[in-house]
Amino acid sequence: MTEDHGDNTSDIAVTDTSVLNDVDLMSTVQMMTISPNKRMTASNLFAARYDQLLLSFVSDPFVLRRMLKNTKSVVSGSNALKLVSPIRVGDWVTNDLDIYTYMQPNTDRLISFFKCAGYTLVGKKIDIIISAKHSALFPISRFWNTFLFNFITSDSLCVAYPEHVLGGHGLIRDIGMAHPRLEMLKEKYAARGYESNEPVLLDLGLVLPRKRRFGDEDCLVLALGPSGVTESEHRRAREKILELGEFFW
């Protein structure tokens, strides 16, 4: 809450936050185009949601977010989907926090961080997934379904297929068709309100499929607080994701 300086600034900030609490990501992003104040409120709102998500696993989200920044690691999987998802089916619970990183020494730094923080297993767990390439995003680009192509950095979120995620559906990728647990995964996400569709093959002749990249113009990218976020910071958030340099089809 902002300080009261004798005008209605504080009331406006409180009203904005209370109204936005149950608004989905796409509506929030659309509101951001209205004014700098709306943009700042939206970024702060999703930053607060991010911190609340992390509080389910650690006592100090700020310290963990700083570690993610220092190791160029990201949060993905079900927790990233839940953060950006407009669908609320039974308020589904995630028991694992999936952190994606790459190579040494980032892995050692993350493991040491959790050990030094006195982290112990209490029903929920933190999984550290090590990428086979020099980018934490590589495993995400190989997920079985397009509605899982989302991740959260220390200070931004990225949705590669916003029309799929926000529409409650996704395409099963070729790599996903051979997944031994495909039917179980489809049922799992169907219970959360997501429909999995098989891709339709079209004869495009000599037309080549366009290669996508995390952070490109088709991705939904949102810079996160903790303080007010300017338009230039939103642009910089997209640039930093592009610098991670991971492509996908």
Give per-residue pLDDT as tens, 27-48: 766 666 666 666 677 788 888 8
Q: Residue 218, by phi and psi: left (phi above 0), alpha (psi -120 to 50) or beta?
A: alpha
Dump the DSSP string for 47-95.
HHHHHHHHHTT-S-HHHHHHHHHHHT-EEETHHHHHHH----STT----
Stretch 162-176: mean pLDDT: 85
Fill in the DSSP letter of residue 145. Answer: B
pLDDT band at residue 209 using 50, 70 and 90 as cut-offs: low
- What are the CA-CA distances from residue 183 to residues 199, 240, 242 (Å)? 16, 36, 33
Q: What's the CA angle centered on 189, arms 100 and 23, to 5 degrees?
A: 85
Model pLDDT, residue 22: 62
pLDDT band at residue 21 using 50, 70 and 90 as cut-offs: low
Q: What's the CA angle centered on 237, arms 173 and 60, to 5 degrees?
A: 90
pTM, two decimals, is 0.82
pLDDT band at residue 247 using 50, 70 and 90 as cut-offs: confident
pLDDT at residue 226 above 90? no
Instruction: Assess contact for 16 and 2: CB atoms under 8 A.
Output: no
CA distance 146 to 166: 12
Q: What would the two tokens of residue 101 be?
A: 């990183």
Model pLDDT, residue 129: 93
- Give tens-digit pLDDT for 76-134: 999 999 988 877 666 778 888 999 999 878 888 998 888 887 666 556 788 999 998 88
Q: Tokens 């559906």 identify what position?
A: 169
